[in-house]
Amino acid sequence: MPVINRIAEFTDEVIEWRHDLHRHPELDYDVHRTSGIVAEKLKQFGCDEVVTGIGRTGVVGLIKGRHASDRVIGLRADMDALPIHEASGKPHASTTPGKMHACGHDGHTAMLLGAAKYLTETRNFSGTVAVIFQPAEEGGGGGKAMIDDGMMTRFNIAEVYGMHNLPGMPVGQFGVRPGPIMAAADKFDIRIDGRGSHAAMPHMAVDPVMIGSQLVTSLQSIVARNVDPLESAVLSVTTFHAGDAFNVIPQSALLRGTVRSFNPDIRDLVEERMRQMISSFGAMHGASIAFEYRRGYPVTRNHARETEFATSVAREIAGEAKVDTQLAPMMGAEDFSYMLDERPGCFIFIGNGKTAGLHHPAYDFDDAVIPFGVSYWSRLVETRLPV
């Protein structure tokens, strides 16, 4: 089954919603305009219940099918943008300097709204669908906040499904895999306190720049020489701040970075080896080194049965040849992982064509994706909750 005819008829309307959201990006939990628009549209469509303030600024709309059933499935879209100056040059570009929808959450929100419009019109299913609009995906943990507010139990959600656009994959195609599909992402801070000195008298110093430089190189050996080559992990030092003058060895240095992994045991191993190495470096060089390791989003892990089902729906929309069922896992992280830890479900990717990459200033969501995404959501509900 290709794009649903009724959805094709109102796709231009969904595109207008998307362009409006793109012009007015909002960050983190501060998505008051966006969530207000979402809630108002859900009410206009005729949702049976619209609940705001879940996870601070999240919105949940409940749509009941034409036949009663206790079964509830959740469909989730993210609403927040990124602190990036847009350089797409599009007529609908951001009107807020320093903020833009560089990850396509405007498209995700618009597509789920389109599905809500269709499902409230047709109600060709049994049970209830919960359309979930989440804030703060970009590092703020909005998915966890909605769960902590009791979303899953309050609405009796039994399964949950998510979707994200993927630049480089042709429009009209889908990609998915069972098991881990996106990595866990952790952050770390390393503060090296040495002893400052004149640059002409290095013997008087405990040089945090030298210590930090050696530490950056040594940290790379953790993955290279401790992690099984058949496993995956990435340790990246992304920030190194030290000193302000060309002739002064500074007193301290600050390093920051991230660790990505798929296996919980590997996650533990990398953290422990980092602690051991950093402690040894401090003792070896006579410096005081403080280390803070913060666990971030867990692994996004698709459940086998729900992934098989989601794949079958994607094939209905796109055709079997246009669904990659062994999409390579990605080292990026996604807080839909929290929802998949609570309920079985699947996170699928939809092709966004030849656009700039995610989080790039020239990125833009391709409007041609919209009828495929809306049709996928709609058919998923009608198939999972048959009349």
Same domain, 239 and 369: no
Same domain, 146 and 248: no
Same domain, 142 and 42: yes
**Which of 26, 78, 80, 334 is flagged as catalytic?**
80
Question: Which of residues 294, 311, 329 is at a domain's end?
Answer: 294
pTM passes above 0.75: yes
Helix spans in 123-170 (H): 142-148, 151-154
**Which of 28, 78, 86, 137 is flagged as catalytic?**
137
Q: Specify the pLDDT at position 327.
A: 98
80 is catalytic: yes
Same domain, 131 and 223: no
Question: Which of residues 260, 294, 328 is at a domain's end?
Answer: 294
Per the prediction, the chain carries an average pLDDT of: 97
| Number of domains the chain is built from | 2
Render pLDDT for 174-200 as a digit per residue (tens, 0 to 9). 999 999 999 999 999 999 999 999 999
Mean pLDDT of 291-298: 97
Burial 317-332 (b: 16+ CB within 10 A, else e): bbeeebbbeebebbbb
Same domain, 208 and 288: yes
Render pLDDT for 227-274 as a digit per residue (tens, 0 to 9). 999 999 999 999 999 999 999 999 999 999 999 999 999 999 999 999
**pLDDT surpasses 70 at 92:** yes
User: Which CATH number do you get for residue 31?
Assistant: 3.40.630.10
Same domain, 171 and 33: yes
Same domain, 76 and 91: yes
137 is catalytic: yes
Please answer whether residues 281 and 208 qualify as being in contact, where contact means their C-beta atoms are separated by less than 8 angstroms: no
Domain that holds residue 380: 5-182+299-384
